């Protein structure tokens, strides 16, 4: 038996972390990504602030999602968009001075120490906003938000670690680029199935985001989650409250000249 001791490869032993230079290589692409992310953040926060109630938040989105097949498509499509959004945001750290310590809750995946990113802000916003407007629904949805955030961060950190070992200089903020390309593919596919089969074919109505981008992004994840909750027969009273408000909003839209299919049946 040999007396030498095997050593682990850098890829297997190195902790997950952002590659050196990820906060200092300010390219045009990174500046554009920060600008778009900041604008989206402001739009969503503003829309959430202006929603008068949880029923109104759900009903705004529900008006454009009455068809069962469209609801089913969004039940899977909206989380896909949110998760890939977390992946995009996890590539954009704010400052080397802002760090999130390792998080290891019971029964949930742990997250290594990492920079505060747009994904961090978005995850915290959705978690606390949904708990505020609907404590029961928000608490039920929180583990799903955490799981999406954890997987997005770990995937991004793994890609950054791989990028560090693939080249002999600080890699770009995009890492190897593989993670972003996969996220873009899933993101675009999720948008397509919601807009074309979902809205054009089944719903016969334009997407809610054409009415208010911020309100759509603030309401959609919880509404899609509630479609599953309501399908299981839970929160029946809340469902009826939202349905009544959806009907009221639909009548107002139809009287205002809307051409959505619900106005012609």
Q: What is the pLDDT of residues 134-156, one digit of tens each?
A: 898 899 999 999 999 999 999 99
Q: Is there a contact between 27 and 172 (Cβ–Cβ < 8 Å)?
A: yes
Whole-angstrom CA distances from 156 to 30, 75, 123, 168 are 15, 25, 15, 19
> Residue 232: exposed, middle, or buried by beta-carbon count in 10 A (0-12, 13-18, 19+)?
exposed
| Residue 103: alpha-carbon gap to chain centroid | 19
- What is the predicted pLDDT for the residue at 244? 94
Longest dimension (CA), the chain: 86
Percentage above 90 pLDDT, the chain = 60
* End-to-end CA, the chain: 81
- The predicted model gives 247-255 an average pLDDT of 91
Of residues 3 and 159, more confidence is placed in 159
Q: What is the pLDDT of residues 112-135, one digit of tens each?
A: 999 999 999 999 999 999 999 889
- What is the predicted pLDDT for the residue at 163? 86
Give exposure, 164-182, as e/b (b: 16+ Cβ within 10 Å).
beeeeeebbbbbbeebbee
- The predicted model gives 209-229 an average pLDDT of 89
- The predicted model gives 237-262 an average pLDDT of 91
Q: What is the DSSP letter of 40?
A: H
Residue 13 has pLDDT above 50, yes or no: no
Let me know the angle formed at the C-alpha of 101 by 179 and 163, rounded to the nearest 5 degrees: 30
The answer to whether the pTM exceeds 0.95 is no
Q: Give me the sign of the Cα torsion angle 126, 105, 23, 96.
A: positive
Q: What is the pLDDT of residues 30-89, one digit of tens each?
A: 899 999 999 999 999 998 888 878 888 899 999 999 999 999 999 999 999 999 999 999
- What is the predicted pLDDT for the residue at 157? 92
Residue 197 has pLDDT above 70, yes or no: yes
Q: What does the mean pLDDT of the chain come to?
A: 87
Name which of 112, 61, 118 is nearest 86 in CA terms. 118
């Amino acid at each position: 038996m040999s007396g030498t001791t095997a050593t682990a490869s850098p890829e297997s032993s190195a902790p997950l972390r952002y590659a050196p230079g990820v906060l200092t290589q300010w390219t045009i692409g990174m500046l554009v990504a920060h600008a778009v992310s900041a604008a989206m953040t402001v739009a969503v926060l503003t829309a959430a602030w202006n929603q008068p109630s949880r029923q109104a938040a759900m009903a705004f989105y529900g008006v454009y999602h009455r068809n069962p097949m469209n609801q089913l498509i969004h039940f899977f499509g909206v989380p896909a968009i949110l998760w890939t959004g977390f992946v995009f945001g996890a590539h954009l750290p704010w400052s080397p001075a802002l760090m999130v310590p390792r998080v290891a809750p019971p029964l949930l995946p742990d997250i290594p120490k990492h920079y505060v990113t747009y994904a961090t802000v978005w995850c915290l916003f959705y978690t606390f906003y949904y708990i505020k407007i609907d404590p029961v629904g928000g608490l039920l949805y929180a583990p799903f938000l955490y799981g999406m955030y954890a997987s997005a961060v770990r995937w991004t950190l793994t890609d950054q670690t791989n990028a560090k070992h693939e080249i002999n200089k600080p890699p770009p903020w995009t890492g190897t680029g593989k993670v972003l390309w996969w996220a873009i593919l899933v993101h675009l596919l999720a948008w397509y199935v919601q807009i074309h089969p979902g809205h054009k074919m089944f719903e016969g109505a334009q997407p809610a985001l054409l009415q208010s981008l911020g309100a759509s992004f603030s309401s959609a994840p919880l509404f899609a989650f509630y479609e599953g909750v309501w399908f299981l027969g839970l929160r029946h009273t809340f469902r009826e409250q939202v349905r009544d408000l959806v009907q009221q909003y639909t009548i107002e839209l139809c009287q205002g000249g809307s051409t959505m299919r619900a106005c012609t049946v």
